[in-house]
Amino acid sequence: MFELSREHEAFRASVRDFATREIAPHVAAWDKDHHFPTDVVQKMGDLGLMGLTAPESLGGAGEDGDFTSLCVAIEEIGRVDQSMGITLEAAVGLGINPILTYGTDEQKEQWLPDLVAGRALAGFGLTEPGAGSDASATRTRAEMDGDSWVVNGSKQFITNSGSSVTSVVTVTARTGTRENGSPEISAVLVPSGTPGFEVEPAYDKLGWHSSDTHPLSFTDCRVPADHLLGERGRGYAQFLSTLDDGRVAIAALAVGCLQACRDMAVEYAGDRQTFGGPIGRKQGVAFQIADLEVMLRASRLLTYQAAAMKDAMDRGASGAPSMAAFKQAASIAKLYATESAVTGTRIATQVFGGYGFMEEYPVARFYRDAKILEIGEGTSEIQRMLIARGLGLPVE
């Protein structure tokens, strides 16, 4: 049986205490007002949550942190508020980690101290109106002009991209054409406030009301040549690696959603009285909650097994899994946990009956928030395709 270490469980308790004190009392109001609480971003930084994958030299946790710790933190924050859970996931997985993994020493020193401390946020501009699951269809371009990259194009659904504390967005763009005719895609760091970089009004979303999500546009946006992130032409490969980790992190967010719904459903089914007793004694209700518990346990196991694989690879541990095995585990965890979260929120809402349809009950918010989990960081359809390919099937 797979279990987290005592250190991870102690860390879980500290994050749960933080989420209960600093987030839970305000979630309903933030959700109603579509308010993005930048002060909580700073507090998460103060607690060390933004630096769980970063070295001590940059203000991070160093050997005291790992990818599993990040997943624990995302789960516990997401158990209280999915909006703040995705804010943390994107801040680290999509904002910090690409710079940490592919950045030069100068880029790391320029951007990471503030990002790790929670004083700033970074976004990752990948998705476009015509390029989502098919990221190779990217139309945004970056062309060299003298000693600068000139960026033109647009991005959509970009998290942490337009807040008052956003400092930079990593943008994938075509920087040329390969000999075989395929696009050469690279990643470029575009600082907030750069002329030609416009953050458009925030989306009016179905869920995640308290997260920061914007479309972005670039019109002759000029950044220095040294703002290229990683090798020229390796942007596509870099983003694929970033998404592998992100899929496990999104699975952790789904586990938090499932845990919240399981807890609410059990409590309500024990308290709500009908026909002379609690509704939890009715098999029609009890069996649905039992199914929810099975989905929760399986999702958590798949998620943390994948996270442990990632940590073993990062440590270079003896017997560490192959990259192919990790990719397969990441897709399986993401697929199962996110689809379970959508089903689990439906079950919990049904248990609550008419009250579940009322915004004053948190289960309604989790129901709205869950759907995007099946879409972001690779849709369920993409995960099934990747899993099938991992089995050796020639699926297109």
Residues 6 or more apart whose Cβ sits within 8 Å of residue 350: 288, 356
Alpha-carbon distances, residue 249 vs 60, 73, 252, 255, 256 (angstroms): 18, 10, 5, 10, 11
Could you tell me if 2 and 305 are in contact, meaning their C-beta atoms sit under 8 angstroms apart? yes
Sign of the dihedral defined by the CA atoms of residues 218, 245, 301, 56, in that order: negative
Name the amino acid, one letter, at 155.
K
* Token pair belonging to 50: 């933004």
| Radius of gyration of the CA atoms of the chain, in A | 21
Sign of the dihedral defined by the CA atoms of residues 173, 175, 177, 178, in that order: negative
- What's the gap between Cα 207 and its chain centre? 14
Catalytic residue selected from 179, 198, 377, 381? 377
- What's the gap between Cα 12 and its chain centre? 18
CA distance 279 to 289: 11
CA distance 1 to 177: 49
Give 158's strand partners. 214
* Token pair belonging to 161: 């991209």
Give 277's strand partners. 274
- The secondary structure of residue 321, as a DSSP letter, is P
293 is catalytic: no
* Token pair belonging to 197: 């970089």
Which amino acids are annotated catalytic? 377
